[in-house]
Protein backbone atom coordinates (compact mmCIF):
# COMPACT_ATOMS: atom_id res chain seq x y z
CA UNK A 1 0.00 0.00 0.00
CA UNK A 2 1.32 3.45 -0.85
CA UNK A 3 1.77 5.82 2.03
CA UNK A 4 -0.26 9.01 2.13
CA UNK A 5 1.36 11.96 3.86
CA UNK A 6 -0.58 14.92 5.18
CA UNK A 7 0.23 18.19 6.89
CA UNK A 8 -2.29 20.28 8.77
CA UNK A 9 -5.35 21.71 7.08
CA UNK A 10 -5.51 25.40 7.93
CA UNK A 11 -7.56 28.09 6.22
CA UNK A 12 -8.32 25.82 3.26
CA UNK A 13 -4.75 24.65 2.59
CA UNK A 14 -2.63 21.69 3.56
CA UNK A 15 0.57 22.86 5.27
CA UNK A 16 3.45 21.26 7.17
CA UNK A 17 3.86 21.87 10.88
CA UNK A 18 5.84 25.09 11.42
CA UNK A 19 8.58 23.05 13.11
CA UNK A 20 8.70 20.68 10.13
CA UNK A 21 8.31 17.75 12.53
CA UNK A 22 6.29 14.69 11.56
CA UNK A 23 5.10 11.41 13.03
CA UNK A 24 4.13 8.09 11.47
CA UNK A 25 0.96 6.05 11.53
CA UNK A 26 1.51 2.27 11.46
CA UNK A 27 -0.75 -0.75 11.07
CA UNK A 28 -1.33 -2.36 14.51
CA UNK A 29 -1.73 -5.76 12.81
CA UNK A 30 1.54 -5.38 10.93
CA UNK A 31 3.92 -2.80 12.32
CA UNK A 32 6.13 -2.98 9.25
CA UNK A 33 3.38 -1.20 7.29
CA UNK A 34 3.60 2.60 7.46
CA UNK A 35 0.37 4.29 6.37
CA UNK A 36 1.79 7.77 6.16
CA UNK A 37 3.53 10.64 7.92
CA UNK A 38 1.67 13.54 9.47
CA UNK A 39 2.37 16.98 10.87
CA UNK A 40 3.47 16.88 14.50
CA UNK A 41 1.99 20.18 15.53
CA UNK A 42 2.76 22.52 18.38
CA UNK A 43 1.18 25.60 19.92
CA UNK A 44 2.15 27.84 16.98
CA UNK A 45 0.29 25.60 14.51
CA UNK A 46 -2.74 25.52 16.78
CA UNK A 47 -2.60 29.30 17.01
CA UNK A 48 -2.66 29.61 13.19
CA UNK A 49 -5.62 27.24 13.00
CA UNK A 50 -7.57 29.07 15.70
CA UNK A 51 -6.88 32.38 13.98
CA UNK A 52 -8.22 30.95 10.69
CA UNK A 53 -11.33 29.70 12.49
CA UNK A 54 -11.86 33.10 14.14
CA UNK A 55 -11.49 34.92 10.83
CA UNK A 56 -13.96 32.59 9.11
CA UNK A 57 -16.56 32.86 11.85
CA UNK A 58 -18.44 36.11 11.00
CA UNK A 59 -19.17 35.09 7.44
CA UNK A 60 -20.05 31.51 8.49
CA UNK A 61 -22.45 32.90 11.10
CA UNK A 62 -24.18 34.82 8.30
CA UNK A 63 -24.44 31.77 6.01
CA UNK A 64 -27.99 30.34 5.93
CA UNK A 65 -28.26 27.12 7.93
CA UNK A 66 -29.50 24.97 4.97
CA UNK A 67 -26.45 26.11 2.99
CA UNK A 68 -24.13 25.18 5.84
CA UNK A 69 -25.80 21.78 6.11
CA UNK A 70 -25.46 21.19 2.38
CA UNK A 71 -21.68 20.77 2.74
CA UNK A 72 -22.35 18.00 5.27
CA UNK A 73 -24.76 16.31 2.87
CA UNK A 74 -22.20 16.40 0.08
CA UNK A 75 -19.60 14.81 2.33
CA UNK A 76 -22.14 12.07 3.23
CA UNK A 77 -22.45 11.33 -0.50
CA UNK A 78 -18.66 11.22 -0.95
CA UNK A 79 -18.36 8.89 2.04
CA UNK A 80 -20.90 6.57 0.43
CA UNK A 81 -18.81 6.47 -2.75
CA UNK A 82 -15.57 5.85 -0.86
CA UNK A 83 -16.91 3.63 1.89
CA UNK A 84 -15.01 0.51 0.88
CA UNK A 85 -11.66 2.21 0.37
CA UNK A 86 -11.98 4.23 3.57
CA UNK A 87 -13.05 1.17 5.58
CA UNK A 88 -10.01 -0.76 4.42
CA UNK A 89 -7.77 2.18 5.32
CA UNK A 90 -9.40 2.26 8.75
CA UNK A 91 -8.73 -1.44 9.34
CA UNK A 92 -5.11 -0.91 8.36
CA UNK A 93 -4.70 2.17 10.51
CA UNK A 94 -6.66 1.26 13.59
CA UNK A 95 -6.97 -2.52 13.49
CA UNK A 96 -10.72 -3.19 13.82
CA UNK A 97 -12.20 -5.84 11.53
CA UNK A 98 -13.26 -4.72 8.06
CA UNK A 99 -16.93 -5.41 8.88
CA UNK A 100 -16.69 -3.10 11.87
CA UNK A 101 -14.75 -0.49 9.92
CA UNK A 102 -17.57 -0.44 7.35
CA UNK A 103 -20.03 0.07 10.21
CA UNK A 104 -17.92 2.96 11.54
CA UNK A 105 -18.01 4.69 8.14
CA UNK A 106 -21.72 3.88 7.80
CA UNK A 107 -22.39 5.48 11.17
CA UNK A 108 -20.62 8.59 9.89
CA UNK A 109 -22.72 8.54 6.70
CA UNK A 110 -25.96 8.10 8.63
CA UNK A 111 -25.13 10.90 11.01
CA UNK A 112 -24.03 13.26 8.23
CA UNK A 113 -27.39 12.67 6.49
CA UNK A 114 -29.20 13.23 9.77
CA UNK A 115 -27.34 16.48 10.48
CA UNK A 116 -27.82 17.67 6.91
CA UNK A 117 -31.56 17.32 7.60
CA UNK A 118 -31.19 19.38 10.78
CA UNK A 119 -30.09 22.24 8.55
CA UNK A 120 -33.68 22.42 7.27
CA UNK A 121 -35.05 22.34 10.82
CA UNK A 122 -32.76 23.98 13.39
CA UNK A 123 -35.94 24.76 15.24
CA UNK A 124 -36.50 27.26 17.99
CA UNK A 125 -39.75 27.90 19.87
CA UNK A 126 -42.39 30.58 19.86
CA UNK A 127 -43.69 31.23 23.36
CA UNK A 128 -46.71 33.28 24.44
CA UNK A 129 -45.94 36.46 26.38
CA UNK A 130 -47.82 37.38 29.55
CA UNK A 131 -48.10 40.97 28.31
CA UNK A 132 -50.38 41.95 25.45
CA UNK A 133 -48.91 42.75 22.03
CA UNK A 134 -45.66 41.06 22.87
CA UNK A 135 -44.07 38.04 21.26
CA UNK A 136 -41.31 35.64 22.28
CA UNK A 137 -39.15 33.33 20.26
CA UNK A 138 -35.95 31.42 20.82
CA UNK A 139 -33.19 30.89 18.27
CA UNK A 140 -29.98 28.92 18.38
CA UNK A 141 -26.77 30.93 18.17
CA UNK A 142 -23.40 29.28 17.42
CA UNK A 143 -20.97 29.23 20.28
CA UNK A 144 -18.06 30.50 18.13
CA UNK A 145 -14.78 28.68 17.63
CA UNK A 146 -14.91 25.05 18.77
CA UNK A 147 -11.99 22.75 19.54
CA UNK A 148 -12.82 19.13 18.66
CA UNK A 149 -10.64 16.44 20.27
CA UNK A 150 -11.30 12.79 19.45
CA UNK A 151 -10.07 9.27 20.29
CA UNK A 152 -8.93 6.58 17.84
CA UNK A 153 -11.55 3.88 18.36
CA UNK A 154 -14.15 5.32 15.92
CA UNK A 155 -11.89 7.29 13.58
CA UNK A 156 -14.68 8.43 11.22
CA UNK A 157 -17.91 8.26 13.25
CA UNK A 158 -16.75 10.16 16.35
CA UNK A 159 -15.11 13.04 14.41
CA UNK A 160 -18.33 13.40 12.39
CA UNK A 161 -20.39 13.38 15.59
CA UNK A 162 -18.61 16.65 16.33
CA UNK A 163 -17.72 18.15 12.93
CA UNK A 164 -21.21 17.83 11.40
CA UNK A 165 -23.19 19.56 14.18
CA UNK A 166 -20.46 22.19 14.58
CA UNK A 167 -20.77 23.07 10.87
CA UNK A 168 -24.58 23.09 10.86
CA UNK A 169 -24.66 25.16 14.06
CA UNK A 170 -22.48 27.87 12.52
CA UNK A 171 -19.36 27.21 14.58
CA UNK A 172 -15.95 27.22 12.99
CA UNK A 173 -13.65 24.50 14.29
CA UNK A 174 -10.17 23.24 14.93
CA UNK A 175 -10.11 19.45 14.94
CA UNK A 176 -7.35 17.55 16.78
CA UNK A 177 -7.76 13.82 16.11
CA UNK A 178 -6.06 11.00 18.00
CA UNK A 179 -2.41 10.46 17.13
CA UNK A 180 -3.14 6.79 16.31
CA UNK A 181 -5.55 7.59 13.46
CA UNK A 182 -4.30 10.71 11.64
CA UNK A 183 -4.86 9.24 8.16
CA UNK A 184 -8.59 8.63 8.61
CA UNK A 185 -8.90 12.16 10.00
CA UNK A 186 -7.00 13.73 7.10
CA UNK A 187 -9.04 11.83 4.49
CA UNK A 188 -12.27 12.95 6.13
CA UNK A 189 -11.22 16.59 6.35
CA UNK A 190 -10.03 16.52 2.75
CA UNK A 191 -13.57 15.59 1.69
CA UNK A 192 -14.81 18.85 3.22
CA UNK A 193 -12.16 20.65 1.13
CA UNK A 194 -13.35 18.76 -1.94
CA UNK A 195 -16.98 19.81 -1.51
CA UNK A 196 -15.86 23.44 -1.22
CA UNK A 197 -16.38 24.19 2.47
CA UNK A 198 -15.15 27.79 2.83
CA UNK A 199 -11.57 28.18 4.14
CA UNK A 200 -11.23 28.35 7.90
CA UNK A 201 -14.59 26.74 8.73
CA UNK A 202 -12.93 23.40 9.49
CA UNK A 203 -9.24 23.23 10.32
CA UNK A 204 -7.23 20.13 11.18
CA UNK A 205 -4.20 20.07 13.44
CA UNK A 206 -2.57 16.69 13.84
CA UNK A 207 -0.21 15.85 16.66
CA UNK A 208 0.18 14.66 20.22
CA UNK A 209 -2.36 15.23 22.95
CA UNK A 210 -0.06 16.95 25.42
CA UNK A 211 1.22 19.33 22.71
CA UNK A 212 -1.40 20.10 20.03
CA UNK A 213 -4.36 18.97 22.16
CA UNK A 214 -3.28 20.91 25.24
CA UNK A 215 -2.54 24.03 23.16
CA UNK A 216 -6.05 23.89 21.71
CA UNK A 217 -7.64 23.61 25.15
CA UNK A 218 -5.49 26.48 26.45
CA UNK A 219 -6.05 28.82 23.51
CA UNK A 220 -8.01 31.93 24.54
CA UNK A 221 -9.55 32.18 21.05
CA UNK A 222 -11.41 28.89 21.48
CA UNK A 223 -14.93 29.22 22.91
CA UNK A 224 -15.81 25.57 23.40
CA UNK A 225 -14.10 22.20 23.66
CA UNK A 226 -15.86 19.02 22.64
CA UNK A 227 -13.80 16.09 23.92
CA UNK A 228 -14.18 12.33 23.66
CA UNK A 229 -11.52 10.24 25.38
CA UNK A 230 -10.32 9.00 28.73
CA UNK A 231 -11.49 10.15 32.16
CA UNK A 232 -7.96 11.17 33.09
CA UNK A 233 -7.57 13.60 30.17
CA UNK A 234 -11.21 14.68 30.34
CA UNK A 235 -10.85 15.71 33.96
CA UNK A 236 -7.79 17.81 33.17
CA UNK A 237 -9.58 19.48 30.25
CA UNK A 238 -12.63 20.13 32.38
CA UNK A 239 -10.51 21.88 35.02
CA UNK A 240 -8.78 24.06 32.44
CA UNK A 241 -12.04 24.97 30.73
CA UNK A 242 -13.63 25.86 34.06
CA UNK A 243 -10.83 28.34 34.77
CA UNK A 244 -11.13 30.02 31.38
CA UNK A 245 -14.97 29.78 31.29
CA UNK A 246 -14.97 27.75 28.08
CA UNK A 247 -17.93 25.57 27.26
CA UNK A 248 -16.75 21.98 27.67
CA UNK A 249 -18.53 18.77 26.76
CA UNK A 250 -17.02 15.46 27.75
CA UNK A 251 -17.70 11.90 26.57
CA UNK A 252 -15.43 9.67 28.65
CA UNK A 253 -14.81 6.08 29.65
CA UNK A 254 -17.11 3.55 31.23
CA UNK A 255 -17.50 0.16 32.87
CA UNK A 256 -20.56 -1.24 31.13
CA UNK A 257 -22.59 -4.17 32.36
CA UNK A 258 -24.81 -6.85 30.91
CA UNK A 259 -27.26 -8.43 33.35
CA UNK A 260 -28.51 -11.96 32.71
CA UNK A 261 -31.67 -12.96 34.60
CA UNK A 262 -32.89 -16.57 34.94
CA UNK A 263 -35.59 -16.10 32.29
CA UNK A 264 -33.14 -14.73 29.70
CA UNK A 265 -33.07 -16.23 26.24
CA UNK A 266 -29.73 -17.90 26.85
CA UNK A 267 -28.37 -18.16 23.30
CA UNK A 268 -29.13 -14.46 22.77
CA UNK A 269 -27.53 -13.44 26.08
CA UNK A 270 -24.36 -15.45 25.32
CA UNK A 271 -24.01 -14.13 21.76
CA UNK A 272 -24.63 -10.55 22.95
CA UNK A 273 -22.08 -10.90 25.74
CA UNK A 274 -19.43 -12.20 23.31
CA UNK A 275 -20.19 -9.44 20.78
CA UNK A 276 -20.37 -6.69 23.41
CA UNK A 277 -17.15 -7.72 25.13
CA UNK A 278 -14.96 -8.53 22.14
CA UNK A 279 -16.09 -6.43 19.17
CA UNK A 280 -13.38 -3.87 18.39
CA UNK A 281 -11.29 -5.98 20.80
CA UNK A 282 -13.16 -4.46 23.73
CA UNK A 283 -12.03 -0.98 22.72
CA UNK A 284 -15.47 0.61 22.65
CA UNK A 285 -16.62 3.04 25.30
CA UNK A 286 -19.74 0.85 25.53
CA UNK A 287 -17.84 -2.49 25.69
CA UNK A 288 -19.37 -5.13 27.98
CA UNK A 289 -16.70 -5.43 30.64
CA UNK A 290 -18.95 -6.85 33.38
CA UNK A 291 -21.32 -9.80 33.07
CA UNK A 292 -23.71 -9.77 36.01
CA UNK A 293 -25.32 -13.18 35.97
CA UNK A 294 -28.05 -14.64 38.17
CA UNK A 295 -26.84 -17.57 40.22
CA UNK A 296 -29.52 -19.89 38.78
CA UNK A 297 -28.15 -19.63 35.23
CA UNK A 298 -24.52 -18.84 35.91
CA UNK A 299 -23.13 -22.32 35.25
CA UNK A 300 -24.95 -22.64 31.94
CA UNK A 301 -24.12 -19.09 30.82
CA UNK A 302 -20.45 -19.48 31.76
CA UNK A 303 -20.01 -22.77 29.97
CA UNK A 304 -21.68 -21.50 26.80
CA UNK A 305 -19.78 -18.21 26.80
CA UNK A 306 -16.41 -19.92 27.18
CA UNK A 307 -17.35 -22.28 24.38
CA UNK A 308 -18.30 -19.34 22.15
CA UNK A 309 -15.18 -17.33 22.95
CA UNK A 310 -12.85 -20.31 22.47
CA UNK A 311 -13.96 -20.36 18.82
CA UNK A 312 -12.92 -16.76 18.14
CA UNK A 313 -10.18 -16.32 15.59
CA UNK A 314 -7.54 -13.75 16.52
CA UNK A 315 -5.73 -11.96 13.68
CA UNK A 316 -5.59 -9.24 11.07
CA UNK A 317 -8.94 -7.45 10.70
CA UNK A 318 -8.75 -7.75 6.91
CA UNK A 319 -9.20 -11.53 7.24
CA UNK A 320 -13.01 -12.07 7.12
CA UNK A 321 -12.77 -15.02 9.54
CA UNK A 322 -11.17 -12.92 12.26
CA UNK A 323 -13.35 -11.86 15.20
CA UNK A 324 -10.62 -10.47 17.45
CA UNK A 325 -8.41 -7.91 15.72
CA UNK A 326 -5.33 -6.32 17.35
CA UNK A 327 -5.47 -3.67 20.04
CA UNK A 328 -4.37 -0.20 19.05
CA UNK A 329 -0.77 0.05 20.29
CA UNK A 330 1.96 -1.38 22.48
CA UNK A 331 1.03 0.78 25.46
CA UNK A 332 -2.57 -0.45 25.32
CA UNK A 333 -1.46 -4.08 25.03
CA UNK A 334 0.77 -3.69 28.11
CA UNK A 335 -2.04 -2.01 30.02
CA UNK A 336 -4.44 -4.86 29.26
CA UNK A 337 -1.88 -7.51 30.28
CA UNK A 338 -1.21 -5.59 33.49
CA UNK A 339 -4.94 -5.57 34.30
CA UNK A 340 -5.12 -9.33 33.67
CA UNK A 341 -2.28 -9.70 36.22
CA UNK A 342 -4.16 -7.46 38.67
CA UNK A 343 -7.31 -9.57 38.25
CA UNK A 344 -5.40 -12.77 38.99
CA UNK A 345 -3.83 -11.20 42.09
CA UNK A 346 -7.22 -10.01 43.28
CA UNK A 347 -8.50 -13.60 43.15
CA UNK A 348 -10.51 -13.64 39.94
CA UNK A 349 -10.12 -16.81 37.90
CA UNK A 350 -9.11 -16.73 34.21
CA UNK A 351 -11.47 -19.09 32.40
CA UNK A 352 -10.00 -18.48 28.98
CA UNK A 353 -7.36 -16.23 27.39
CA UNK A 354 -5.17 -14.02 29.53
CA UNK A 355 -2.14 -13.97 27.26
CA UNK A 356 -0.67 -13.02 23.91
CA UNK A 357 -1.35 -15.49 21.09
CA UNK A 358 1.69 -17.43 19.89
CA UNK A 359 2.79 -17.86 16.29
CA UNK A 360 4.52 -16.20 13.38
CA UNK A 361 1.37 -14.37 12.24
CA UNK A 362 1.22 -12.47 15.54
CA UNK A 363 4.87 -11.42 15.63
CA UNK A 364 4.43 -7.96 14.09
CA UNK A 365 1.21 -6.79 15.71
CA UNK A 366 -0.44 -5.93 19.03
CA UNK A 367 -2.48 -9.11 19.44
CA UNK A 368 -4.16 -10.47 22.55
CA UNK A 369 -6.41 -13.47 23.15
CA UNK A 370 -9.97 -12.85 24.42
CA UNK A 371 -10.06 -13.10 28.20
CA UNK A 372 -12.98 -14.10 30.41
CA UNK A 373 -12.64 -13.92 34.19
CA UNK A 374 -14.90 -15.75 36.59
CA UNK A 375 -15.47 -14.94 40.27
CA UNK A 376 -15.07 -11.21 39.70
CA UNK A 377 -16.45 -9.23 42.64
CA UNK A 378 -17.57 -5.57 42.77
CA UNK A 379 -14.65 -4.30 44.85
CA UNK A 380 -11.96 -5.65 42.50
CA UNK A 381 -10.09 -3.13 40.34
CA UNK A 382 -10.87 -5.18 37.22
CA UNK A 383 -14.57 -4.72 38.05
CA UNK A 384 -14.29 -0.96 38.63
CA UNK A 385 -11.67 0.44 36.24
CA UNK A 386 -11.92 0.73 32.49
CA UNK A 387 -9.52 -1.74 30.84
CA UNK A 388 -10.40 -0.90 27.22
CA UNK A 389 -9.32 -4.24 25.82
CA UNK A 390 -10.61 -7.78 25.16
CA UNK A 391 -11.32 -8.61 28.80
CA UNK A 392 -14.61 -9.27 30.57
CA UNK A 393 -15.59 -10.85 33.87
CA UNK A 394 -18.52 -12.77 35.30
CA UNK A 395 -20.09 -11.66 38.59
CA UNK A 396 -22.64 -13.63 40.55
CA UNK A 397 -25.94 -12.16 41.85
CA UNK A 398 -29.08 -13.61 43.39
CA UNK A 399 -31.79 -11.07 42.55
CA UNK A 400 -32.59 -8.23 40.18
CA UNK A 401 -32.11 -5.78 43.06
CA UNK A 402 -28.60 -7.08 43.65
CA UNK A 403 -27.88 -7.01 39.90
CA UNK A 404 -28.91 -3.35 39.70
CA UNK A 405 -26.88 -2.45 42.81
CA UNK A 406 -23.78 -4.17 41.39
CA UNK A 407 -24.25 -2.53 37.99
CA UNK A 408 -24.55 0.88 39.69
CA UNK A 409 -21.59 0.30 42.02
CA UNK A 410 -19.01 1.86 39.67
CA UNK A 411 -18.08 5.50 39.11
CA UNK A 412 -19.05 5.37 35.42
CA UNK A 413 -22.47 5.14 33.75
CA UNK A 414 -22.57 4.84 29.97
CA UNK A 415 -24.30 1.65 28.83
CA UNK A 416 -26.10 -1.22 30.55
CA UNK A 417 -28.17 -4.14 29.23
CA UNK A 418 -30.59 -6.47 30.92
CA UNK A 419 -31.65 -9.83 29.47
CA UNK A 420 -35.06 -10.78 30.80
CA UNK A 421 -38.66 -11.13 29.65
CA UNK A 422 -40.08 -10.24 33.05
CA UNK A 423 -41.86 -6.89 32.80
CA UNK A 424 -41.37 -6.05 36.49
CA UNK A 425 -37.64 -6.67 36.37
CA UNK A 426 -37.40 -4.72 33.12
CA UNK A 427 -39.04 -1.62 34.54
CA UNK A 428 -37.16 -1.82 37.85
CA UNK A 429 -33.94 -1.86 35.85
CA UNK A 430 -35.01 0.95 33.53
CA UNK A 431 -35.98 3.09 36.51
CA UNK A 432 -33.01 2.39 38.76
CA UNK A 433 -29.97 1.87 36.53
CA UNK A 434 -27.62 4.87 36.55
CA UNK A 435 -26.57 4.72 32.91
CA UNK A 436 -27.14 7.13 30.04
CA UNK A 437 -28.01 4.30 27.65
CA UNK A 438 -30.03 1.26 28.74
CA UNK A 439 -30.92 -1.71 26.57
CA UNK A 440 -33.39 -4.52 27.17
CA UNK A 441 -32.47 -7.74 25.35
CA UNK A 442 -29.90 -5.94 23.21
CA UNK A 443 -26.11 -5.64 23.68
CA UNK A 444 -24.35 -2.74 25.41
CA UNK A 445 -22.68 -1.72 22.13
CA UNK A 446 -24.19 -0.48 18.87
CA UNK A 447 -25.46 3.07 19.33
CA UNK A 448 -27.77 4.47 16.64
CA UNK A 449 -27.22 8.03 15.52
CA UNK A 450 -30.75 9.42 15.87
CA UNK A 451 -30.91 8.90 19.64
CA UNK A 452 -28.96 10.84 22.25
CA UNK A 453 -25.75 9.20 23.43
CA UNK A 454 -23.77 9.90 26.57
CA UNK A 455 -23.22 8.78 30.12
CA UNK A 456 -23.98 9.54 33.73
CA UNK A 457 -21.49 9.97 36.60
CA UNK A 458 -17.82 10.08 35.52
CA UNK A 459 -18.65 9.18 31.92
CA UNK A 460 -19.38 12.79 31.14
CA UNK A 461 -20.61 16.14 32.29
CA UNK A 462 -24.24 16.00 31.27
CA UNK A 463 -23.97 16.64 27.53
CA UNK A 464 -25.27 14.25 24.89
CA UNK A 465 -24.03 13.61 21.38
CA UNK A 466 -26.00 12.23 18.38
CA UNK A 467 -29.73 12.80 18.08
CA UNK A 468 -31.15 16.32 18.05
CA UNK A 469 -29.21 17.05 21.27
CA UNK A 470 -26.00 17.26 19.19
CA UNK A 471 -26.81 20.85 18.37
CA UNK A 472 -26.86 21.79 22.06
CA UNK A 473 -23.11 21.24 22.27
CA UNK A 474 -22.42 23.91 19.70
CA UNK A 475 -25.14 26.49 20.24
CA UNK A 476 -26.45 28.91 22.84
CA UNK A 477 -30.14 29.73 23.13
CA UNK A 478 -31.12 33.32 22.49
CA UNK A 479 -34.49 34.46 23.78
CA UNK A 480 -36.00 37.30 21.80
CA UNK A 481 -38.92 39.38 23.11
CA UNK A 482 -40.67 41.75 20.67
CA UNK A 483 -43.05 44.31 22.11
CA UNK A 484 -45.38 45.89 19.53
CA UNK A 485 -47.71 47.58 22.04
CA UNK A 486 -46.04 50.99 21.56
CA UNK A 487 -45.90 51.57 25.31
CA UNK A 488 -43.66 50.66 28.22
CA UNK A 489 -44.93 47.40 29.65
CA UNK A 490 -43.37 46.32 32.91
CA UNK A 491 -43.19 42.55 33.37
CA UNK A 492 -44.99 41.37 36.49
CA UNK A 493 -46.09 44.98 37.16
CA UNK A 494 -48.40 46.11 34.37
CA UNK A 495 -52.15 46.54 34.78
CA UNK A 496 -54.11 43.69 33.17
P1 LIG B 1 -7.20 9.75 25.40
O2 LIG B 1 -7.88 10.50 26.48
O3 LIG B 1 -5.84 9.24 25.66
O4 LIG B 1 -7.08 10.66 24.09
C5 LIG B 1 -8.21 11.24 23.49
C6 LIG B 1 -7.77 12.47 22.72
O7 LIG B 1 -7.28 13.45 23.64
C8 LIG B 1 -6.64 12.23 21.72
O9 LIG B 1 -6.85 13.01 20.57
C10 LIG B 1 -5.42 12.73 22.48
O11 LIG B 1 -4.38 13.14 21.64
C12 LIG B 1 -6.01 13.91 23.23
N13 LIG B 1 -5.26 14.31 24.42
C14 LIG B 1 -4.44 13.56 25.20
N15 LIG B 1 -3.90 14.31 26.18
C16 LIG B 1 -4.39 15.56 26.02
C17 LIG B 1 -4.21 16.78 26.73
N18 LIG B 1 -3.40 16.88 27.78
N19 LIG B 1 -4.89 17.86 26.32
C20 LIG B 1 -5.74 17.80 25.24
N21 LIG B 1 -5.91 16.68 24.52
C22 LIG B 1 -5.26 15.57 24.92
O23 LIG B 1 -8.19 8.59 24.97
P24 LIG B 1 -8.00 7.48 23.84
O25 LIG B 1 -7.02 6.48 24.33
O26 LIG B 1 -7.75 8.12 22.53
O27 LIG B 1 -9.46 6.85 23.79
C28 LIG B 1 -9.91 5.89 24.69
C29 LIG B 1 -10.84 6.50 25.70
O30 LIG B 1 -11.91 7.19 25.04
C31 LIG B 1 -11.52 5.46 26.56
O32 LIG B 1 -11.51 5.88 27.89
C33 LIG B 1 -12.93 5.40 26.00
O34 LIG B 1 -13.90 4.93 26.90
C35 LIG B 1 -13.14 6.82 25.63
N36 LIG B 1 -14.24 6.95 24.67
C37 LIG B 1 -15.43 7.47 25.11
C38 LIG B 1 -16.51 7.58 24.24
C39 LIG B 1 -17.82 8.15 24.70
O40 LIG B 1 -18.60 8.56 23.84
N41 LIG B 1 -18.13 8.19 25.98
C42 LIG B 1 -16.36 7.15 22.92
C43 LIG B 1 -15.14 6.62 22.52
C44 LIG B 1 -14.08 6.53 23.40
213 within ligand 1 shell (Cβ under 6 A): yes
pTM flag (> 0.95) = yes
Tell me which residue of 252, 222, 316 sits closest to 32, measured CA to CA.
316
197 within ligand 1 shell (Cβ under 6 A): no
354 CA to centre of own chain:
27
Q: Give pLDDT tens digits for 453-491.
A: 999 999 999 999 999 999 999 999 999 999 999 999 999
> How far is the centre of ligand 1, averaged over its atoms, from the C-alpha of 307 (Å)?
34
Contacts of 369-372 with C-beta under 8 Å, sequence gap 24+, read 369/314, 369/324, 370/277, 370/278, 370/309, 370/312, 370/314, 370/324, 371/340, 372/277, 372/305, 372/306, 372/309
Q: pLDDT grade, residue 3 (50/70/90)? A: confident
Tell me which residue of 263, 283, 259 sits closest to 273, measured CA to CA.
259
Helices (H) and strands (E) in the chain, counts: 14, 21
Strand partners, 147: 174, 225
What does CATH list as the number for 256-440? 3.40.309.10
Report the C-alpha gap between 92 and 112 in whole angstroms.
24
Clarify whether 285 is annotated catalytic: yes
Q: Give pLDDT tens digits for 27-58.
A: 999 999 999 999 999 999 999 999 999 999 99
Q: Give pLDDT tens digits for 235-262.
A: 999 999 999 999 999 999 999 999 999 9
CA of 465, closest atom in ligand 1: 40
Q: pLDDT grade, residue 494 (50/70/90)? A: low
214 within ligand 1 shell (Cβ under 6 A): yes
- The top-level CATH class assigned to 4-252+460-479 is alpha beta
Q: Does the structure show a pLDDT above 60 at 165?
A: yes
Give the chain's mean pLDDT. Answer: 97
Write down the domain spans for the chain: 4-252+460-479, 256-440
Cα dist. 44→171, 185, 193, 241, 403 in Å? 22, 20, 23, 20, 51
Q: Does the structure show a pLDDT above 80 at 1?
A: no
Amino acid sequence: MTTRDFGNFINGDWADALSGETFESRNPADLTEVLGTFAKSGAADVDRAVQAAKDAYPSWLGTPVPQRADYVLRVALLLEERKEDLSETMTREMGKTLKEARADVQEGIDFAHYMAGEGRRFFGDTIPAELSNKFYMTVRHPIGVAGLITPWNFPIAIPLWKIAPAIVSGCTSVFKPAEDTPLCAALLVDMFREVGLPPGVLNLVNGMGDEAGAALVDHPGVNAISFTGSLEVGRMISEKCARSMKRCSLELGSKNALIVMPDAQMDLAVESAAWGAFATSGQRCTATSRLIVHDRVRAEFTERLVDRVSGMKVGNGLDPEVELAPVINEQQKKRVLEYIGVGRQEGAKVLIGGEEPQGEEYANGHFLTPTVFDEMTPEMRIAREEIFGPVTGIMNVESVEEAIAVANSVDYGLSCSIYTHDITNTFKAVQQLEFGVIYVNAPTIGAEIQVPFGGMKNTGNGHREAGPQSLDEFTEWKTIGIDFSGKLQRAQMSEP
